[in-house]
Structure 1
């Protein structure tokens, strides 16, 4: 937990539920170039399982920052699920929100799964492998964005799933008819592939570049774009 996250967590600990939404509003850093993600994480940590009704209210709130906070707070709810059925319900809710109209909510899904990965990497791997292999574009995008987080990729199994997910998502993109490629959801998936590959490769350059090599020989224009974008990243090792 970062210093700022810990400070917000301490402040949130001292509030009752009715005072939490105004605190989120006051400290969201919005409007602005970057939402306060430390506060989002602190809210999930403190209130994720303490007040289910508060989380549910935020999930349904018209304000996208509040919905993002509620979405990330689904991580501790998932980890605390006492049955397979309860767990499956939360997973299904997160999958639905992976295709939300709000990009902040979609980012909240990735953040939620990264928190899950911190505590239960096997659950992250199993679920995201499924999303990457069988889902609409934004669900596949959520899978690679969730997996391609540096702190999670020290685990060799998670890295393997991340590379496989990036490959599956790239193959999915390349298989779309040319006339569909300008759809917003496919463009969003392409954009994620433009940075996720380099995150995974940086975690283990030898292993990652071996997986990436097949893309460099593709004649598909969108795959070529993905290759170029990743090669621009400072973290991308030289082949």
Structure 2
């Protein structure tokens, strides 16, 4: 039996009897924090259990909302309690298909707020939560992304990119084309950012996400993907060129599409200032 299943067996009775104080203690005690890697198996098991209930009552809903809103100011750096919003945020994505339209809207709002959190673990929980939604209903995830994207912060856009670079949902060509469309819009907006904005944490993490995610999309739709890369390789923007170059170096492209990679590199090196 996997650790994830073992945790689920321990979590279910606490959830069923709504013993959220004991549940919180259990999550914190087994969080693996402080440390470099939180207990992802436990967090996933928590979401599994909530999804399996298929019914989110008012007490559980309010508890999840409260946990998701635990701020950085409420926890010290590398605090064990940081695991609670991490679990709650990703689990909100897990229960998305189980709640009504009003609660779905609230889930989207909570994930959007958490995407701007100063804590990287909470931001990762957003990407995981969005991936839960994608796996259940990609069109619902599309709706969320389309709502965020136009006025979204750099961190929100990073959450979208990280969530979309999820292989289980990229076997559908329409899904991949949506990813490329989102990518193109983000790259276009990046070219308009001034030097000061490019020094921010938001820009740094978005750029880092783009430096690998594009290759994930391109590997699934090489014809459209390499055309996109070739187009952006021609742009006179140092950061955009670095993003394209980084993706070309990923083995998922370099090993399988050497001819196309070479073609883009020719364009890139001919224009790289």
Q: Which stretch of the first structure deviates more once superposed, 215-224 or 24-33? A: 24-33
Structure 2 SS opposite 1:73: helix
Paired with 1:180 and 1:157, the residues of 2 have a C-alpha distance of 33
Q: Is the 8 A contact 1:216 1:227 kept in 2?
A: yes
Instruction: Give the deviation of 1:145 after TM superposition.
Output: 1.1
1:13 aligns with 2:15: no
* Aligned counterpart, 2:39: 36
Per-residue CA deviations over 1:42-93 (Å, capped at 9, x if unaligned) read: 111213636224323422443322111010111244322323x332222122
* Aligned counterpart, 1:148: 165
* Aligned counterpart, 1:123: 140
Q: Is the 8 A contact 2:47 2:95 kept in 1?
A: no
1:67 aligns with 2:85: yes
Structure 2 SS opposite 1:197: helix
Q: CA RMSD in A?
A: 2.1
1:79 aligns with 2:100: no
Paired with 2:30 and 2:219, the residues of 1 have a C-alpha distance of 33
* Aligned counterpart, 2:50: 47
* Aligned counterpart, 2:2: 3
Q: Is the 8 A contact 2:50 2:95 kept in 1?
A: no
Paired with 1:118 and 1:135, the residues of 2 have a C-alpha distance of 23
Paired with 1:124 and 1:200, the residues of 2 have a C-alpha distance of 17
Length-normalised TM-score, structure 2: 0.79
Given the alignment, which residue of 227, 232, 235 partners 2:252?
A: 235
Instruction: Give the deviation of 1:223 after TM superposition.
Output: 0.5
Indicate how the Cα distance of structure 1 residues 114 and 181 shifts in structure 2: closer, same or farther if over 3 A, else same.
Answer: same
Paired with 1:9 and 1:204, the residues of 2 have a C-alpha distance of 37
Given the alignment, which residue of 21, 24, 27 partners 2:27?
A: 24
Structure 2 SS opposite 1:71: helix
Instruction: Give the deviation of 1:23 after TM superposition.
Output: 2.1
Q: Is the 8 A contact 1:132 1:144 kept in 2?
A: no
Instruction: Give the deviation of 1:222 after TM superposition.
Output: 0.6
Structure 2 SS opposite 1:14: helix
Instruction: Give the deviation of 1:116 after TM superposition.
Output: 0.6
Count of matched residue pairs: 237
Structure 1 SS opposite 2:171: coil
* Aligned counterpart, 2:185: 168
Structure 2 SS opposite 1:134: coil
Instruction: Give the deviation of 1:197 after TM superposition.
Output: 0.6
Q: Which stretch of the first structure deviates more once superposed, 100-109 or 173-182? A: 173-182
Q: What pairs up with 1:198-209 in 2 under 5 angstroms?
A: 198-209=215-226
Q: Whose radius of gyration is greater, 1 or 2?
A: 2
User: Which residues of structure 2 form unaligned runs of 5+?
Assistant: 76-80, 261-273
User: Which residues of structure 1 form unaligned runs of 5+?
Assistant: none
